[in-house]
A and B are shown apart, each in its own frame.
Chain A
Amino acid sequence: MSIDIGTHNTFPKLLLHHALVRGALPAIREKDLGIWQTWTWREFADEVRALACGLASQGFKRGDHLALVGDNRPRIYAAVCAAQCLGGIPVPLYQDAIAAEMAFPIQNAEVAYAVVEDQEQVDKLLEILPQCPSLKRIYYDDARGMRHYTQAQLMSYEKLRELGRESHSRDPAFLETQIAKGAGSDTAAMFFTSGTTGNPKGVVLTHHALIDRAKAAAEMEGLSDSDVVLAYLPPAWIGQNIFSYAQPFVTGYSICCPESAETVMTDMREIGPTYYFAPPRVFEALLTQVSIRIQDLWWGGRRSYEYFMGIASRVGGAILDGKQVSLKERLQYFLGELFVYGPLRNVLGMSRVRVAYTAGEAIGPDLFKFYRSIGINLKQLYGSTETSVFVCIQPNGQVKADTVGPAVPGVELKFTPERELLIRSPGLFKEYYKNPQATLEAKDREGWFHTGDAGYFDADGHVKIIDRVKDVGKLADGTLFAPKYLENKLKFFPYIKEAVAFGHARDQVCVFINFDFEAVANWAEKRHMPYTGYTDLASREEVLSLVRECIERVNADVAQEPEIANSQIRRFLILHKELDADDGELTRTRKVRRGAIADKYQPLVDALYSGKGAVHIEAQVKYEDGRSGMFSADLAIRDAKTFAPAAAKRAA
Chain B
Amino acid sequence: MTRAVQIGEAILSVESVSLAFGGVKALQEVSFDVREHEIRAIIGPNGAGKSSMLNVINGVYHPQQGKIRLRANGAWREFRDMDPHEAAAMGIARTFQNIALFKGMTVLDNVLTGRNLKMRCSFLEQAIWIGRARREEHEHRRAVEEIIDFLEIQHIRKTLVGKLPYGLQKRVELARALAAEPTLLLLDEPMSGMNLEEKQDMCRFVLDVNDHYGTTIVLIEHDMSVVMDISDRVVVLDYGRKIADGTPDEVRANQAVIDAYLGVAH
| Chain A residues near B (Cβ < 8 Å) | 33-35, 144-145, 147-148, 259-260, 262-263, 266
* Contact indicator B211/A34 (Cβ below 8 Å): no
Stretch of B58-66, B148-156, B244-252 on the interface side: B148-156
In order of increasing CB-CB distance, the 6 nearest A-B pairs are A262-B155, A33-B145, A263-B155, A34-B145, A259-B154, A147-B4
In the complex, what distance in Å separates the CA atom of A259 from the CA atom of B154? 7
Is B1 an interface residue, CB under 8 A from the partner? yes
| A residues less than 8 Å from B208 (CB atoms) | 145
New A-B pairs, 12, CB < 8 Å, besides A145-B208, A148-B1, A148-B3: A33-B145, A33-B148, A33-B149, A34-B141, A34-B148, A34-B154, A144-B150, A259-B154, A259-B155, A260-B154, A260-B155, A262-B155
Q: How many interface residues does chain B have, given as a range?
A: 10 to 19
Are B155 and A33 interface neighbours, CB within 8 A? no
Taking the nearest CB of chain A, how far is it from the CB of B64, in angstroms?
44
Contacts of A33 in B (CB 8 A): 142, 145-146, 148-149
Docked Cα-Cα span, A144 to B151, in Å, equals 12
A367 to B3, CA, bound (A): 53
Q: Is the interface of B mostly helix, strand, loop or mixed?
A: helix
Contact present for B154 and A262 (CB under 8 Å) = yes
Known pairs A33-B142, A34-B145; A148 contacts B154 (CB<8 A)? no
Residues of B within 8 A of A (CB): 1-4, 141-142, 145-146, 148-150, 152, 154-155, 157-158, 208, 211-212
Q: Give the complex CA separation of A262 and B141 in angstroms.
A: 21
Enumerate chain A residues within 8 angstroms of B157, measured Cβ to Cβ: 34
Q: Shortest CB–CB separation between residue B230 and chain A, in angstroms?
A: 16
Q: A259: which B residues are within 8 A, CB to CB?
A: 154-155
Query: Per a CB cutoff under 8 Å, which of A35, A148, A260, A266 touches B2?
Result: A148
Interface core residue of A34, A147, A266 (most chain B CB under 10 Å)? A34
C-alpha gap A259/B142 in the complex (Å): 15
A474 to chain B, nearest CB (A): 50
Chain A residues with Cβ below 8 Å from B155 are 259-260, 262-263, 266
| B211 contacts across to A, CB distance below 8 A | 145
| Sample (26) of A-B pairs whose CB atoms are under 8 Å apart | A33-B142, A33-B145, A33-B146, A33-B149, A34-B141, A34-B145, A34-B148, A34-B154, A34-B157, A35-B145, A144-B150, A144-B212, A145-B208, A145-B212, A147-B4, A148-B1, A148-B2, A148-B4, A259-B154, A260-B152, A260-B154, A260-B155, A262-B154, A263-B154, A263-B155, A266-B155
A35 / chain B contacts, CB cutoff of 8 Å = 145
By beta carbon, the residue of chain B nearest A149 is: B1
What CA separation (Å) do A263 and B148 show in the bound complex? 13
Residues of A contacting B145 in the complex (Cβ-Cβ under 8 angstroms): 33-35
| Chain B residues, Cβ within 8 Å of A260 | 152, 154-155
CA distance A424 to B157 in the complex (A): 49
Q: Whose C-beta in chain A lies nearest to the C-beta of B108?
A: A34
A260–B145 alpha-carbon span in the complex (Å):
14
List chain B residues, Cβ under 8 A from A263: 154-155
| Residues from chain A with Cβ under 8 Å of B4 in the complex | 147-148
Can you name the residue of chain A whose Cβ is closest to the Cβ of B156?
A262
Instruction: Name the residue of chain B whose CB is nearest to the CB of A31.
Output: B154
Residues of A with C-beta under 8 A to B2? 148
Task: Output the nearest chain B residue to A264 by Cβ-Cβ distance.
Answer: B155
Q: How far, in angstroms, from A259 to B212 measured CA to CA in the complex?
A: 21
A97 to B242, CA, bound (A): 48
Inter-chain CA distance A34–B153, complex, in Å, is: 11
Query: Which residues of B lie under 8 Å from residue A144 when comparing CB positions?
Result: 150, 212
Give the nearest-CB partner of A261 in chain B. B155
> In the complex, what residues of A have CB within 8 A of residue B212's CB?
144-145
B134 vs chain A, min Cβ distance (A): 16
Contacts of B158 in A (CB 8 A): 266
| Bound Cα distance A263, B146 (Å) | 16
- Whole-angstrom distance from the CB of B206 to the nearest CB of chain A? 14
In the assembled complex, the Cα of A35 lies from the Cα of B142 at a distance in Å of 10
B4, B141, B149, B152, most chain A CB atoms within 10 A: B149
CA distance A93 to B1 in the complex (A): 27
In the complex, A147 Cα to B210 Cα: how many Å?
A: 13
Looking at B3, B149, B155, B157, the one whose CB has the most chain A CB atoms below 10 A away is B155
- Closest approach, in angstroms, between the C-beta of A456 and any C-beta of chain B? 45
B residues within 8 A CB of A147? 4
A122 to chain B, nearest CB (A): 13
Shortest C-beta distance, A432 to chain B (Å), equals: 38
**Shortest Cβ distance from residue A133 to the other chain B in the assembled complex, whole angstroms:** 24
**Distance of A74 Cα from B106 Cα, bound (Å):** 29
Q: How far is the CA of A260 from the CA of B157 in the complex (A)?
A: 12
- Minimum distance in angstroms from A154 CB to a CB of chain B: 15
Task: Report B135 CB to chain A, min CB distance, Å.
Answer: 16
Interchain nearest-CB distance for B124 vs A (Å): 27
Which residues of the partner chain B approach A266 to less than 8 Å between Cβ atoms? Answer: 155, 158
CA distance A605 to B155 in the complex (A): 51
Closest B-chain residue to A35, C-beta based? B145
**Minimal beta-carbon separation of B76 from chain A (angstroms):** 30
Interface centre among A33, A144, A262 (most CB of B within 10 A): A33
A55→B145 CA distance, assembly (Å) = 32
Give the shortest distance, in Å, between B152 (CB) and chain A (any CB): 7
Complex interface: chain A residues within 8 A of B150 (CB): 144
